[in-house]
Chains A and B, each alone.
Chain A
Amino acid sequence: MTSSPESLASAADPAAGAVELCRELVDDLSFGAVRRWKERHPGALAIGYMPIYVPRPLLDAIGCLPVALFGGGDQIEIIRGDSIFQSYICHIPRSVVELGLRGRLDALDGILFPSICDVVRNLSGVWKLLFPDRYSAYVDLPQNFDAALGGRFYLQEMRRIVRELGERGARPLDEDALRAAIIAENDRRAALARLDALRLAEPWRIPASEAYLVSRAGAVLPTAEHQALVEEYVAAAAERPVRVHDNVRVVVQGSFCEQPPLALILTLEKAGCYIVDDDFQLGLRIIEGAIEVAADEDPLAALARAFLERGAATASRYVDEGEKGAALIAKVRAAGADGVIFAAASFCDPALLDQPMMESALAAAGIPHTSFKFAENTGQFQTIREQAGAFSDSVKLWGTTV
């Protein structure tokens, strides 16, 4: 049997209000929430950043609002963006450029481009050419995870960002403020962990489509506000009436940057899949667990250490020891998942180059898997529904794909 969860929440659902609010925040490509925040904080800076990760507590601590950018999804027609990127380059850079050229990102005082792939790297240069008067910076996250090498370089990178933003009106970095920001981030992380735990235990109660919206709403909200929203949603979802379906439990992997359209996530659910874990909003979860700061420790060093030692394995992070795919297998086991669906954006080099290694590891571990590609503005889902449905059925019938 395959059937859908009752997503998105109906009006009688106690979680409906939170879900609706999250959806409005996600769909608002004019970034109204950011504009409102700036009205409430005159002179403060809103700083956008591309996936996957920048150290948000650092921006919080210097009085900036970190704003995660995920392109235009399926909500914006791309015209000028297509004149800048060739057809064989993924979709997110063209929709980010489109948003910028249409003035949709005017609320932002700058954009950070973390090192994730060659396209986002080059987008940082495109941005400088298109918007020479606006602040933008590339953030070179270390691929050397030795504290004395990559750690020291990363600290210098973070101090550089602080200095550059300070020249544009951000507050100087203060240790107490950074400690407070890290605590706030940890609290938000804990709220997300509760959401993830409930979803894992009762995926019929928290569909992935909703978990995605609730997580992604944090892209435009201050940390504490997002934490409160996540907690409100989790509390409401815990009270909602539910109906359990005979779905397979899957992990979705490969969508850590360009995001699939919401309808695609819903399609997978309708095809009989409980998505019990994914990497859609990896940036919020990339530090595994809380960022620990010892009493006598420089909190900036703690922030760097967290990335070095507790950064989640993902395609844009060099795996310098252990077997490729080990982290994914551990995730599958922890989630009690029946299989993995690889959903990578078309032309996403990191995800697509990683995928064969992941598939080999899964095959060796006897974990069923399937794969497809998407673009953020994909509008045809029937094939994906059929593929995911067949996958779901085969896993249920035989415990593996055939």
Chain B
Amino acid sequence: MSLQTVKNPHPPGPPLPKGEGGARRPPPAAKDASQERQKRMIAEHFQRLERAREEGRKVVYTFVPGNLTEIVGALGMLPVLPEINALQSGMRKKSAGYIAEAEKAGHSEDVCTYVKCDLGMLRSGNVGPTGTRLPEPDLLLLSYTGCFTFMKWFELLRQEYHCPVAMLHVPYQAEGKISPEMRQYVVDQLRDKVIPMMEGIAGRKLDLGELSRRLELSRRAEDDLVAVWESARHRPSPIDGYFGGVYYIGPIFSAFRGTEDAAAYYRELRQEVEARVARGEGPMTPDGPLAEERFRLVVEGPPNWTHFNDFWRMFSRESAVVVASTYTRVGGLYDTGFRHDGERPLESLAEYCLGCYTNLSLPARIDLLQRYVETYQADGFLINSVKSCNSFSAGQLIMLRELEKRTGVAGGFIESDLVDPRYFGKANIENRLQSFLQMLAARRERSYA
């Protein structure tokens, strides 16, 4: 769900449309050190995956929400995240073909396009973002957190790979809190079923000291990531917490949580963001630094990946900054206080899994959005409702109403999809977004009057 292969957030793009200030976009600014570090980390990870077979390292396919990266790492195994493969395929304009491949094989047009994209990629050679074939999994680690489709996805992959599946059932926070019974259920599964199965695949026992060390590294990275999120309290916000935010979550949502690399990355990122605050700078956009902050928005729902930069520009060209988003909490919700804890390894891993954003009840999701709107003094909030993801989307219309009622801030609603370009109606989305922003501007003018 996050980006694993990070592109420059302000890559060279197509010429600006005529009438928008010039024939060509401004040259891209120099990359920050954290971006270079992340790029290097990802490249090295894919190199490790390429060598996995010859080096005898085991490969675990797993999902972003509820991932157990510290355990995977402590056992010397390497994670592959099919959601990230899917979104990468979307960004590389390969998802349409992969989805068509899956639909030809009998998969319904109604279901999650991440799943179909992944299956289509598998049928097309399983070539990853670096252009090499991904190693097959030795284990499918099914952390069933916040998304029913995950379960079906790995049932489908099991048929393809014929490898074992370690299933971790993570109960749903229907009442907006983690009960002792829920936590214990997850801990018991980890201790009695999931870890023994992973140890069997890895061929070694889990070193609890090493796990605790990794969890402590996770905590450090989480502290710094939260500081980055909270920097958006400043005006102008030094970050875009949605489009820019998906780059920030790359390491911690994927293969790197619990590593020295991730801890260093988030320390560096935090320092860069704090420097931008000190300089009074806004966030980077695909077209360079944002000169003016006209609208501060909170966004609910995943982005569209097939037209990611087009989508981003719809905001940045209107000087709209996303000061907080829920999608960037889908692989871990840290800004409400949770941290991984080396002193309570299994308990804190259980709480992590239980606390991922899409595992929260709808009322709890609204509470969080309300908190973001108020904390970050947003002018409005926007829901990008994606066709593919019922876990996110079912109920968003009532969330919109409830949030407007509670905050008095206007909400907007647009619809697209994760990686199926057929559902990205650029003109329609742009019209809706512009109307929404015009409404916010009119409201602001009225309030001044």
Residues of A within 8 A of B (CB): 83-86, 88-89, 93, 113, 115-119, 121-126, 128-130, 137-138, 140, 142-144, 146, 148-150, 152-153, 156, 160, 315-316, 318-320, 324, 344, 346-350, 352-357, 359-360, 373
Contact = CB atoms under 8 A, between A and B. Distances in A.
B398 interface: yes
B363 interface: yes
Given A84-B398, A349-B149, A359-B106, 8 more contacts: A88-B110, A126-B398, A128-B361, A143-B167, A148-B192, A149-B188, A153-B185, A352-B108
Nearest to A93: B394
Interface string B184-223: 0100110011000000000000000000000000000000
Contacts of A153: 171, 181-182, 185
B313 interface: no
Nearest to B102: A356
Interface in B269-300: none
List the 5 shortest-distance A-B pairs measured between CB atoms, nearest first: A125-B362, A138-B174, A353-B152, A122-B394, A118-B390
B395 A350 contact: no
A123 B107 CA distance: 25
Contacts of A344: 108
A152 B185 contact: yes
Which of A118, A153, A344: most chain B CB closer than 10 A?
A118
Contacts of B395: 84-85, 122-123, 125-126
Which of A85, A128, A315, A349: most chain B CB closer than 10 A?
A349
Given A122-B391, A144-B169, A350 B185 contact: no
A153 B182 CA distance: 8
Which interface class (under 10, 10 to 19, 20 to 34, 35 or more) fits B?
A: 35 or more
Contacts of B153: 353
A149 B189 contact: yes
A89 B155 contact: no
A319 B155 contact: yes
Contact of B155 (A115, A125, A140, A318): A318
Contacts of A138: 172, 174-175, 361
B363 A129 contact: yes
Nearest to A154: B185
B33 interface: no
Contact of A122 (B108, B110, B390): B390
A349 to B, nearest CB: 6
A353 B115 contact: yes
A353 B172 contact: no
Contacts of A115: 148, 172
B397 A85 contact: yes
B115 to A, nearest CB: 7
A349 B390 contact: yes
A140 B175 CA distance: 12
B408 to A, nearest CB: 18
Given A93-B394, A125-B395, A149-B189, A354 B152 contact: yes
B385 interface: yes
B110 A352 contact: yes
A238 B185 CA distance: 49
25 contacts: A86-B393, A86-B394, A88-B387, A89-B394, A121-B174, A122-B391, A125-B362, A125-B363, A126-B395, A128-B362, A129-B362, A129-B363, A129-B366, A138-B174, A143-B169, A144-B169, A160-B181, A318-B167, A319-B155, A320-B167, A352-B107, A354-B155, A356-B105, A357-B156, A373-B108
Contact of B159 (A113, A116, A129, A357): A357
B363 A143 contact: no
A344 B111 CA distance: 12
A150 B155 contact: no
Contact of B112 (A144, A318, A349, A357): A349
B390 A149 contact: no
Interface string B366-406: 10000000000000000001010011011111100010000
B43 interface: no
Contacts of A152: 185, 188
A118 B394 contact: yes
B394 A85 contact: yes
A258 to B, nearest CB: 13
Contacts of B111: 349, 352-353
A242 B361 CA distance: 53
B107 A356 contact: yes
B315 interface: no
B138 to A, nearest CB: 18
B398 A129 contact: yes
A317 to B, nearest CB: 9
A93 to B, nearest CB: 7
A88 B148 CA distance: 17
Which of A84, A117, A130, A353: most chain B CB closer than 10 A?
A353
B144 interface: yes
Nearest to B168: A144
Interface string B226-251: 00000000000000000000000000
A178 to B, nearest CB: 20
Interface in B132-191: 144, 147-149, 151-153, 155-156, 159, 165, 167, 169, 171-172, 174-175, 181-182, 185, 188-189
